Every structure is written in C-alpha cells, then in structure tokens.
A and B are shown apart, each in its own frame.
Chain A
Amino acid sequence: AQKVTQAQTEISVVEKEDVTLDCVYETRDTTYYLFWYKQPPSGELVFLIRRNSFDEQNEISGRYSWNFQKSTSSFNFTITASQVVDSAVYFCALSVHSGNTPLVFGKGTRLSVIA
C-alpha cells in the first residue's frame, strides 16, 4: 500500500521569508510519480509539479523549488521569498506505475503568509 505523510499541519510565516514543506512517502513500487498540488481558499486543486522515481534532479521554477531524495523517501517543496498569495493548503501526492493510477494524498499543510 502507498502512503504519504505531511507532518506539518500548519505553518505561518512572515512575507518574504523562505518556507519548506515536507513530504515523506511510502511505496514498494519501483516506478512511481510524486506530485505537489496547491489548494487556495477558492478550493480548486492546482497542479504544481510532477517528478518520477527515476529522476532525482531537483528543480527550480521561479520562487518554487523541489528537493527529491529517494534515499530518505522525501519530496520537499520550498517557496522562496513567500508572498501573501502563496497562502493555501499544499498537498503532496503519490501515484504508482505510470502515474495514471489514482493519487494517494497526504493530509496537507496549511501555509499562512502574513503581510
């Protein structure tokens, strides 16, 4: 069975601070995909990034960066110079095999960025 753990329930930061959201996953499959989604107050889940199990290259996209480490089964997400608009619930999710299988989500981390 697959499992995703987001140990941080809520994080509050002051605008312009950097913040890292932690994600730890469990799976016995050797081929899998990891995702991050953002759920703003409006409620709609927004896709942010996808990584497959064979690609441990970290990625930076603007103020967002991701750190994937198979050795520790972690897929952490960092927002640099946070902004109020980053306030949302962030979900880490796992899909095995081709990645077209149903997503297993963590419980989410609620990020509040205070001006």
Chain B
Amino acid sequence: DTGVSQNPRHKITKRGQNVTFRCDPISEHNRLYWYRQTLGQGPEFLTYFQNEAQLEKSRLLSDRFSAERPKGSFSTLEIQRTEQGDSAMYLCASSLKYLGLAGGSNEQFFGPGTRLTVL
C-alpha cells in the first residue's frame, strides 16, 4: 500500500498524559500536513513541512503541541499534558511541491487519521 499511513488509529488517554502520533507520507511527497477534525466540522490546519523544514504553524497549535519531521520522511505530532478539548481526529496529508507549468500536482492525499480520546 503506497498511501499515507498513520499510527495509532485510536488512542485513549487520561488528561495530563503525553501522546505521540506518527504519519508516514507517500514516499515521493515532500510536503506533509497535519490537520485536526472535530465532530461535525471540517479539518482545521495545524502545521506543515516541506522536507524537514516546518513552514507554518497555526494559532491552533498551542505550546503543548510539537511536530517534527526529522529526516524529511515520516512525521510525529506530540501533545503534552493532554486536555479533554484535545479529543479529535488528527489527520495527516502529503503532497508534491507543485511546480506549475513545470509539472507536478498539488492535491493533498490524506491518511486514515488517529482518533484521540482524552478522558
């Protein structure tokens, strides 16, 4: 399977605990995005990378959240001191850097998500 994969698929934790999620993008994709989706809402952007460089972080990403993409391949998203409001689906997506007329495509391909429940 060459799609985007995420692990774990489900995570239940107690308030105050730290959690870490992993995303493995499509192998040739150099851009990787993290989104959060709560019930009945569309996905909201958290942060994204080009290769190992973190290009942008949303205001939604509090100091308790940190993301890395150390070798420009897989990425991790860590939440420290989880709160009940962190309960959501965390989605990862990847894409190629669009080169305009030079080629490439810019659609983002999404993984199955990690559902976090904070008790």
Contact = CB atoms under 8 A, between A and B. Distances in A.
Interface of B: 31, 33, 35, 40-45, 48, 56, 58, 89, 91, 93, 95, 97-98, 100, 105-113
Contact of A35 (B56, B97, B107): B107
Interface stretch (A12-20, A63-71, A75-83, A94-102): A94-102
A25 interface: no
Interface string A86-106: 000001010100111011111
Contacts, number: 60
B106 A98 contact: yes
A103 B112 contact: no
Contacts of A107: 40-42
Given A44-B112, A95-B106, A103 B100 contact: no
A50 B107 contact: yes
Nearest to A9: B40
Contact of B45 (A33, A37, A46, A103): A103
A102 B45 contact: yes
A106 B97 CA distance: 23
Given A98-B98, A102-B45, A108-B42, A50 B106 contact: yes
A33 B108 CA distance: 12
A93 B41 CA distance: 13
A108 B95 CA distance: 22
B31 A103 contact: no
A44 B111 contact: yes
Nearest to B40: A107
8 contacts: A44-B110, A44-B112, A44-B113, A47-B109, A47-B110, A100-B31, A100-B97, A107-B42
A100 B95 contact: yes
Contacts of A98: 98, 100, 106
A51 B56 CA distance: 24
- Most B C-beta atoms less than 10 A away, residue of A37, A45, A102: A102
A102 B56 contact: yes
A44 B98 CA distance: 23
